[in-house]
Amino acid sequence: MRILVINGPNLNMLGIREPELYGKKDYAALCAAIEAHARRLGVEVGIFQSNCEGEIVTRIQQALGREDAVVINAAAYTHTSIAILDALKAIALPTVEVHLTDPMLREEFRHISYTGMACEARFAGAGFESYLKALDYLHEKYLK
């Protein structure tokens, strides 16, 4: 199984941006945690991050025929991007939404998730563990 992990805007600023919300570990630590967990599960993982909506849409489209599933943290685009929603719907791969924090416990505008409308599961509010839970979910559902 090959899983694409997509990270949206500002996730490259982990450890710097609002550490009281997102923690003090940096983006490299997040990638290392994802890669180590994927190895333990015996799945391949590719990680992509962009601050640009169009680049995220293009990478989602490229997943068709290359990856078996998607884990996405679209960050702020979660609440604004119909383009990302449409790309996820177009490829129709099993997709899981993740968030480091729980958007439902934050500002009201974060309560709407366009990307979540194309996802079969969601893990939020557990920091890096949200990603690991998403990998576990996909592994359990599609490999066991």
| Residues in the chain, overall count | 144
How far, in Å, CA of 46 to CA of 63, rounded?
10
Angle at 2 between CA 66 and CA 74, to 5 degrees: 85
Active site residue 111: no
Spot the catalytic one: 37, 77, 79, 99.
Answer: 99
Helix (H) or strand (E) segment spanning residue 137: helix 129-143
79 is catalytic: no
| Residues designated as active site | 22, 99
